Amino acid sequence: MTTVTNYRNKIKPYLDDLEKKGVGLGGGSAGALAFCLGCSLVAKSINHTKSKDISKLKKNKLDNRLVKVKELKKKIYPYIDQDGQLFAKMIKNKGKERKKYLKKVNHLLKTLARSSYKVFLLAKELDFDIKKGIKSDFNLGINFIKIAMKSATYNLDANNKISGKKDNYLKDFKNKFKKMEKE
């Protein structure tokens, strides 16, 4: 059994920086954090569901989905810091340099949106397999994933307004988010 540590002291500096006025951490970073929280809750639910009394086929399916969720979380985790760092550089610069950083920020946000949708589809596929005793954590995890998708979509939309360009992916992400909201 895992012991619970005093995590609030570890996350406090992040929360304090997030609330500060000015350029830095914002919705993209918070969206990446929400994604990681969601993945952790989905992974916890999968781990809790795996027990001695399930079939080998079901266990393999759960193991496969668990690996995918963990891989996507590992990919997005650095974005918690990178989004704010890149956005600050984008605001600081002008011209081609600004466009370069805007492109990098948008790449992170698109990856967050795609990853959110992938985890959502994986979770939706597992919905009936998850044990009832952990279902509330599983559902909360899915809601965090939805928040991450919403964050990515809102931030891409805002960045389009900054750049004056339309992003072809935004409409697709908005449609996927609408599907997620219905489920």
Q: What is the pLDDT of residue 50?
A: 86
For the purposes of burial, counting CB atoms within 10 Å of the CB of 56, is it exposed (0-12), middle (13-18) or buried (19 or more)?
exposed
**Residue 91: per-residue pLDDT:** 86
CA dist 139 and 130 (Å) reads 10
CA-CA-CA-CA torsion sign (32, 124, 141, 176): positive
pLDDT value for 150: 95
What pLDDT sits at residue 90?
A: 87
pLDDT for the residue numbered 1: 55
Residue range 108-126: mean pLDDT, rounded: 94
Percent of the chain with pLDDT over 70: 98
List, in order, residues 6 or more apart from 157 with CB less than 8 Å away: 170
Residues 6+ apart with CB under 8 A from 139: none
Q: Is the pLDDT of residue 51 over 90?
A: no
Give the rounded percent of residues in the chain with a pLDDT score beyond 90: 55
Q: Is the pLDDT of residue 40 over 60?
A: yes
Are 23 and 91 spatial neighbours (Cβ–Cβ below 8 Å)? yes
**Residue 112 banded pLDDT, cuts 50, 70, 90:** very high
What fold characterizes domain 26-182? Four Helix Bundle (Hemerythrin (Met), subunit A) (1.20.120)
Gap between the Cα atoms of 23 and 143, Å rounded: 27
Question: Domain ranges in the chain?
Answer: 26-182
Residue 72: what pLDDT? Answer: 98
Q: Is the pLDDT of residue 4 over 90?
A: no
- Provide the phi-psi class of 55: left if phi over 0, else alpha when psi is between -120 and 50, else beta: beta
For range 94-100, the mean pLDDT: 91
Q: How far apart are CA 124 and CA 182, in angstroms?
A: 12
Q: What is the pTM of this model?
A: 0.91
User: Which among 5-9, 24-28, 133-137 has the top mean pLDDT?
Assistant: 133-137
